[in-house]
Amino acid sequence: MGCQSSHPSAIPELEEIMQETGFSQASVVRLYDRFQALDKQQKGYLSKYDLQGIGELAVNPLGERIINAFFKEGEELTNFRSFIRVLAHFRPVEEGKSKETGRPEPMNSRLRKLQFAFQLYDQDSDGKISRDEMLQVLRLMVGIQVTEEQLACIAERTIQEADQDGDGAISFEEFATSVEKLNIEQRMSLRLLK
Amino acid sequence: MQPPTGPALASAPESPPGAAPGSPLLRWQWREVQAPCLVAGWILVASLAKIVFQLSRKVTSVVPESCLLILLGLGLGGIVLAIAKRAEYQLEPSMFFLFLLPPIVLDSGYFMPSRLFFDNLGAILTYAVIGTLWNSFATGAALWGLKQAGLMDTGVDAGLMDFLLFGSLISAVDPVAVLAVFEEVHINETLFIIVFGESLLNDAVTVVLYKVFNSFVEMGPAHVQATDYLKGVASFFVVSLGGAAVGLLFAFLLALITRFTKRVRIIEPLFVFLLAYMAYLAAEMVSLSSILAVTFCGICCKKYVEANISRKSRTTVKYTMKTLASSSETVIFMFLGISAVDTSKWAWDTALVLGTLLFILLFRAVGVVLQTWVLNRFRLTPLDRIDQVVMSYGGLRGAVAFALVILLDGDKGLTIKPLVKWLKVKRSDHHKPTLNEELHEHAFDHILAAVEDVVGHHGYRYWRDRWEQFDKRYLSQLLMRKSAYRLKDEIWDVYCKLNIRDAISFVDQGGHVLSASRLTLPSMPSRTSMSESSVTNLLRESGSGACLDLQVIDTVRSRRDKEDAVMHHVLCGSLYKPRRRYKASYSRHFISPSTQERQDKEIFQQNMKRRLETFKSTKHNVCSAKSKARLKKDGRKKQKKSAANAELPNGKPPRSVTWQQTAAAVLVAVDSDDEESDSSETEKEEDEGIVFIARATDAILQGKKASGSLDVCPSPRIIPPSPTSAERELPWKGDRGDLAVYISSETTKIVPVDMQAAWKQSISSLESVASPPGAEPGPHAKTVAGPALEERQMMPEPRTCFQFPNPLLRSSRPQSAGSPERTEQPELQPLMAPDEQGRMSTAAGPGNSRWLIQFNRPARFSDG
């Protein structure tokens, strides 16, 4: 972590970022510090390698996927703007405030949070979680004691359970329906990302 | 207790050798053994009582065990009082603090989930310091107010300072009571660690407050000057930091010592206990916070000690610690009850007691709410209202306060359990009906955890990294053995682990048909081969049972539901837990392997592997599809095979059988971190990390056979008191935290027979493989051939050789000189080292053995 915090003026496009993501200035500064701390060679952007250097991610079953989520399709690098854009998904939802913002869809809305999660499942980004994709995620998340056949069974059943139109895959709408009861706003929010 | 009787009470024909003539042959020496005998007796009584309590689960599920013990103590105390006309046995503060408390504190420090503890250190400190201060002042002042208002009996003669003193004593949350009660009601881990940590750390506050107020009382309020208050504040820091420092010092010493115990493995555990106890005494000696000292000693030494001492010593330390802590806790609670009948030590004042209770509760609640409000602004995971209620109510004053003021106040535990139940603090009460929700919920938590890490939320992470570097560079090198340290080397470690895992997966995928996999059994109980044999066993069993019973097909519930249930079981048991949901794996009565570490390692390895693979694939363009294809193929093959197997017994549709079989094949290391309230009668072998889950399938099978079918195919291994069927089949209905244990503990009942059979079978098969058939009578030959050989060697001058020991024998048993027993003597006295015998015998071979025996006979007869 950075020992001294950067001056707000040092951050490129500060205003736009705040406008776009809804972060407070303090948060942006904090995240910028973090960004620079991660960027060990001070190149001004992050590579996957930089993110892989975070120790905890190595023991997070979805760590690799999260890392990948920071990078656009086919790109190897991310700058601060897109870095913070990803993090904006995890800004807590303020009660009452979400309506008054001009834009219809703030980045931290339930929908956007769900979309973010969905794309972690949907690796080929065809808008559907196929059986294989489900299986892959399960393989990531389940301990080694569970055998492949069991995983396959679970994946199959999970798909069946959520699949409403019977195409053997979970679309985003079906995904959203299946987690309807969960408190996404709370579960996918980081308190310190005000 | 029997009154001590005079000497020379009884005598017995076996007189001790060397007794002077005229003196009594057996002396009744009650006086000399009185104290230890009483101690042992009490512990025995308490332990027996524990067994009895656990026998009836209904009672313990309603009333906490600690309360039962107190009640038992009350009863016993009453009896003693009635017999002896005076209260005999008291919980003396010195005994409590010198002997009973240290094991409990050491145990909690040593097994403290340290990560969780340090994660919540801020909150814990706040509650421990500010909360305790607030509580003691407010309670003391309010009681004083009560007295001023004239509500209290005039017999209570005390001023403001006295009440403040009293408040300081009564306000501390007590670790003994907290642990005892919170452990029985399952609450979430954050809550647990906060209250628990608070109870440990506020010791310093209490001690200081007590001392300060005590000195104030002695001085008289009029003479207290401003500097004295400052002194009080300063002494707080001295006491707490000093205590911690003493603990650290002894932890360092302990780690250093265990580094050099390679040759004296047998006393390794002793060092742990001795030094921890020394830490306690040292802190006590210089009137620092001894609880803090032991706690920190336990927390800090663990890493190094565990790395240094041998595995057996580790187990010993664990068990001894648990035993000590558990028994002293038991004794404490029982003595609480016993002491309570003694009216000389305390006087009942309704207003005082009620007022104290009321104020404690009130101020605790106020304090908790205020502090939580402040803390929640900083915390990542806010404490919600229910947590607060539990915290405020969970502030149990019990044994410690009692020992200080000898005032009974510990029965509050009785009410917390229903309260917690009522408030549904258990997170297991959440419905989790669908697989999707279950899965996605986990995914969300993982995602959030990952993003937290990306954002770098830990304020203290910088320091922790620094600390870890320092630890790695200096401390570990200094305090750990070279071998242990090398093992700690991460990359090497990971490499080893990967190797093992690859080996296992190899066996998993292809090797299980080969008998070769059995070869690994004796050296290392390979998980796969064991599961393999027990799967077959299980299948055979279920097959025969199902064949007899036609009702199998009539399932009460649809198979789909059942499969769902099984899937939930599997998922619940083996989904990686997100960081936030690690259960506080502290329990005084059960030893838990650290699931977290295992999980971390697993994930880490997988991630590294994947990274390596992607790295490789980008570098060399090796598509990983190949391995995947292989995997798939293997999977299919297996499935086919198992399906073929399954169709044999009863023609059930292959799919469900496959599922059952695979469910049966699951092996888990026992996670006993969940304290189970419902497994009182299951005895767990905590040391055996590997347990075979057969329960899930068994439950299914059991469910499929409708109730009557139990008679048709009796399966004696099903234990009658098991959770309700709904609980058994739908994990979210039962306590989710208990699930893993419930499975594993039930299975330990089922497994052993299978396992033993499988084990024996494989061992015998292995033996037959390992040794050529000619060598079969090896052991037999050994026993006979040994002496024979030896005799043959002694042949040249047998007389001297055989006669040699006889004079000695004769002196002790003169009448046996000429008897045939004499001839047996050579056999009883092996003149050669046993291994030499063995070598000789194997060298002699089975073919020779007969000859040797024949040779042996004449020799013996010639001797006789």
What is the CATH number for A14? 1.10.238.10
Give a yes or no: residue A4 inside a domain: no
Spell out which residues of chain B touch residue A182, defining contact as CB-CB under 8 Å.
Answer: 437, 440-441, 444
More confident residue, A5 or B8: A5
What is the pTM (predicted TM-score) of this model?
0.50
Whether residue B457 is predicted with pLDDT greater than 60 in this model: the reply is: no
- What number is the average pLDDT over the span B135-146? 78
Provide the β-strand partners of residue B834.
none
Residue A149 to residue B570, Cβ atoms within 8 A: no
Whether residue B316 is predicted with pLDDT greater than 80 in this model: the reply is: yes
Q: Is B493 on the interface with A (CB under 8 A)?
A: no
Q: Is A166 on the interface with B (CB under 8 A)?
A: no
Number of domains in chain A: 2
Residue B453 to residue A60, Cβ atoms within 8 A: yes
Q: Tokens standing for B220?
A: 């008289």
Whether residue B139 is predicted with pLDDT greater than 60 in this model: the reply is: yes
Interface contacts (A, B; CB < 8 Å): 180
Interface of B with A in 381-420 (CB under 8 A): 381-382
Q: Is B627 on the interface with A (CB under 8 A)?
A: no
User: Can you give the pLDDT at residue B281?
Assistant: 92
User: Can you give the pLDDT at residue B464?
Assistant: 61
Nearest CA in chain B to A146: B666
Spell out which residues of chain B touch residue A162, defining contact as CB-CB under 8 Å.
Answer: 434, 436
Closest in B450, B462, B573 to A63, CB measured: B450
User: Can you give the pLDDT at residue B719?
Assistant: 41
Question: Are A84 and A122 found together in one domain?
Answer: no
- What number is the average pLDDT over the span B519-525? 34
Question: Are A126 and A163 found together in one domain?
Answer: yes
Cβ neighbours of residue A139 closer than 8 Å, sequence gap 6 or more = A151
Between B97-101, B486-490, B508-512, the lowest mean confidence (pLDDT) is in B486-490
DSSP chain A: --SSPPPGGGSTTHHHHHHHH---HHHHHHHHHHHHHH-TT--SSEEHHHHHT-HHHHT-TTHHHHHHHTS-TT--EE-HHHHHHHHGGGSPPPTTHHHHSSSSS-TTSHHHHHHHHHHHH-TT-SSEE-HHHHHHHHHHHB-TTS-HHHHHHHHHHHHHHH-SS-SSSEEHHHHHHHTTTS-HHHHT--TT--
Closest in A116, A146, A193 to B570, CB measured: A146
Residue B436 to residue A51, Cβ atoms within 8 A: no
Spell out which residues of chain A touch residue B437, defining contact as CB-CB under 8 Å.
Answer: 178-179, 181-182
Give a yes or no: residue A98 inside a domain: no
User: Can you give the pLDDT at residue B351?
Assistant: 59
Question: Are A132 and A64 found together in one domain?
Answer: no
How close does chain B come to A97, measured CA to CA in Å? 19
Which of residues A27, A58, A88 is at a domain's end? A88
Spell out which residues of chain B touch residue A160, defining contact as CB-CB under 8 Å.
Answer: none
Biggest alpha carbon distance in chain B?
A: 107
User: Can you give the pLDDT at residue B13?
Assistant: 42
How close does chain B come to A46, measured CA to CA in Å? 12
User: Can you give the pLDDT at residue B514?
Assistant: 36
Highest mean pLDDT among B15-24, B740-749, B797-806: B15-24
Residue A192 to residue B445, Cβ atoms within 8 A: no
Question: Are A18 and A76 found together in one domain?
Answer: yes
Question: Are A129 and A79 found together in one domain?
Answer: no
Nearest CA in chain A to B502: A144
Whether residue B250 is predicted with pLDDT greater than 60 in this model: the reply is: yes
Give a yes or no: residue A154 inside a domain: yes
Cα B211 to Cα B138: distance, rounded to the nearest angstrom: 18
- What number is the average pLDDT over the span B729-737? 40
Nearest CA in chain A to B579: A60
Cα B270 to Cα B257: distance, rounded to the nearest angstrom: 11
- For residue B482, the SS3 value is helix
Q: What percent of chain B has pLDDT over 70?
A: 30
Whether residue B555 is predicted with pLDDT greater than 60 in this model: the reply is: no
User: Can you give the pLDDT at residue B612?
Assistant: 67
Q: Indicate the helix (H) or strand (E) that contains B667.
A: strand B667-669
Highest mean pLDDT among B115-124, B255-264, B345-354, B607-616: B255-264
Q: Are B45 and B306 in contact (CB under 8 A)?
A: no
Q: What percent of chain A has pLDDT over 70?
A: 79
More confident residue, A183 or B655: A183
Give a yes or no: residue A39 inside a domain: yes
Give a yes or no: residue A71 inside a domain: yes
Question: Are A121 and A186 found together in one domain?
Answer: yes
Question: Are A192 and A111 found together in one domain?
Answer: yes
Interface of A with B in 94-133 (CB under 8 A): 116-117, 120-121
Question: Are A84 and A111 found together in one domain?
Answer: no
User: Can you give the pLDDT at residue B277?
Assistant: 92
How close does chain A come to B541, measured CA to CA in Å? 22
Question: Are A114 and A51 found together in one domain?
Answer: no
Question: Are A79 and A118 found together in one domain?
Answer: no
Whether residue B268 is predicted with pLDDT greater than 70 in this model: the reply is: yes
Give a yes or no: residue A102 inside a domain: no
Give a yes or no: residue A97 inside a domain: no
Question: Could you tell me the pLDDT band of residue B822, with boundaries at 50, 70 and 90?
Answer: very low
Cα A90 to Cα A92: distance, rounded to the nearest angstrom: 6
Whether residue B727 is predicted with pLDDT greater than 60 in this model: the reply is: no
Question: Are A15 and A74 found together in one domain?
Answer: yes
Q: Indicate the helix (H) or strand (E) that contains B692.
A: strand B690-692
More confident residue, B246 or A100: B246
Q: Are A119 and A125 in contact (CB under 8 A)?
A: yes
Q: Is A66 on the interface with B (CB under 8 A)?
A: yes
For residue A65, what are the domain limits?
A: 10-88
How close does chain A come to B57, measured CA to CA in Å? 32
Interface of A with B in 133-152 (CB under 8 A): 137-138, 140-150, 152
Residue A145 to residue B668, Cβ atoms within 8 A: yes
Give a yes or no: residue A2 inside a domain: no
Q: Is A93 on the interface with B (CB under 8 A)?
A: no
The torsion of the CA quartet A169, A170, A171, A172, rounded to 10 degrees, works out to -160
User: Can you give the pLDDT at residue A165?
Assistant: 82
User: Can you give the pLDDT at residue B64?
Assistant: 59
Angle at the Cα of B408 from the Cα atoms of B405 and B411, rounded to 5 degrees: 145
Which of residues A31, A60, A88 is at a domain's end? A88
Between B188-202, B436-450, B519-533, B816-830, the lowest mean confidence (pLDDT) is in B519-533
Task: Write out pLDDT tens, residues B482-506.
Answer: 665 544 444 444 545 555 655 555 5
Nearest CA in chain B to A57: B450
Place of tokens 């503060």: B93
Choose, out of A5, A90, A144, A172, the residue to mutate when testing the contact with B (most B CBs < 10 Å). A144
- What number is the average pLDDT over the span B212-238? 75
Mean pLDDT (chain B) is 57
Spell out which residues of chain B touch residue A66, defining contact as CB-CB under 8 Å.
Answer: 447, 450-451, 454
Rg (CA), chain A: 18
Which of residues A41, A58, A88 is at a domain's end? A88
User: Can you give the pLDDT at residue B278?
Assistant: 92
Residue B446 to residue A61, Cβ atoms within 8 A: yes
Choose, out of A62, A108, A132, the residue to mutate when testing the contact with B (most B CBs < 10 Å). A62
Question: Are A123 and A192 found together in one domain?
Answer: yes
Closest in A143, A178, A192 to B602, CB measured: A143
